[in-house]
Chains A and B, each alone.
Chain A
Amino acid sequence: EIEMTQFPATLSVSPGEGATISCRASQSVNNNLAWYQQKPGQAPRVLIYSASTRATGIPARFRGSGSETEFSLTISSLQSEDFAVYYCQQYKDWQTFGQGTKLEIK
């Protein structure tokens, strides 16, 4: 089973600033990596798939990068609605989620 490790667990950032969340796979997943956003009381929604492709309707301030075992999600100019929990997910070998990163307002 491929393990996914996200860091940091919590990230405190001021609105208008940028934020980067990292995700590491225990073995290569090529570019089979997605990022999700989950807000309290809601189901997750996909932001990025294939490591760097934005899903339909996702603003350009969300950018995914990386390949093999190292990935990152960068959010530029944070808006109030961006403060949420973010998860990475590999789908090379079925699926595994990272443990999540809480992006909170500083």
Chain B
Amino acid sequence: EVQLVQSGPEVKKPGQSLKISCKASGYKFTSYWIGWVRQMPGRGLEWMGIIYPDDSDTRYSPSFEGQVTLSADKSIATAYLQWSGLKASDTALYFCARSDSGNWFDSWGQGTLVTVSS
């Protein structure tokens, strides 16, 4: 069974750094892309970017380029989303999801809630 298990909720202050994770199991991690999707409170889904764990080829949405960093550690089948300086506007639920060939997402993590507040 394909599973993506995300790290737990985070509460941070503006300016702090953060790295959240998405651990994959039940399939060959290096053969599928992992994407990240933001959902701000009461809002829709926003595609942030996507990474291919085998070679770390990464693409970012123009809206998120320079704001976040995607990475992956294939030795532990885990993808990461990180910020170097959080803002209150980063408060949201973040999903990771699996994609075959950069196409639709066929499996999703449960989401990680990030709250940024002073």
Binding site for B on A (CB under 8 A): 1, 32, 34, 36, 38, 43-46, 49, 55, 85, 87, 89, 91, 94-100
A100 to B45, CA, bound (A): 8
Cβ of B8 under 8 Å from chain A: no
Smallest beta-carbon distance A90→chain B, Å: 10
Evaluate contact between A94 and B106: CB separation under 8 angstroms. no
CB pair A87 B47 closer than 8 Å: no
CB neighbours (8 Å) of B53 from chain A are none
**Closest B residue by C-beta to A38:** B45
**Interface size, chain B (Cβ < 8 Å):** 22
Contact residues in A for B80 (Cβ distance below 8 Å): none
- For residue B59, which residue of chain A has the nearest CB? A94
Query: Measured between C-beta atoms, what is the minimum distance from A45 to chain B in Å?
Result: 7
Establish whether residues A97 and B95, one from each chain, have CB atoms under 8 Å apart when the complex forms. Answer: no
Which residues 84-118 of B sit at the A interface, judged by CB distance below 8 A? 95, 97, 99, 102-106, 108-111
Instruction: Please determine whether A43 and B95 come into contact, CB atoms closer than 8 angstroms.
Output: yes
Does B41 belong to the interface (CB within 8 Å)?
Answer: no
Chain B interface residues (CB < 8 Å from chain A):
35, 37, 44-47, 50, 59, 61-62, 95, 97, 99, 102-106, 108-111
Closest to B104 in A: A34
Chain B residues, Cβ within 8 Å of A97: 37, 44-47
A91 to B104, CA, bound (A): 7
Say which residue of A1, A87, A98 sits within 8 Å of B62 (CB atoms): A1
Complex: how many Å from CA A78 to CA B117?
41
Q: Are A87 and B44 touching (Cβ within 8 A)?
A: yes
Q: Which of B61, B95, B105, B111 contacts A94 (CB 8 A)?
A: B61
A43 touching B104 in the complex, CB below 8 Å, given contacts A1-B61, A94-B47 = no
Q: Is the CB of B111 within 8 A of A87?
A: no
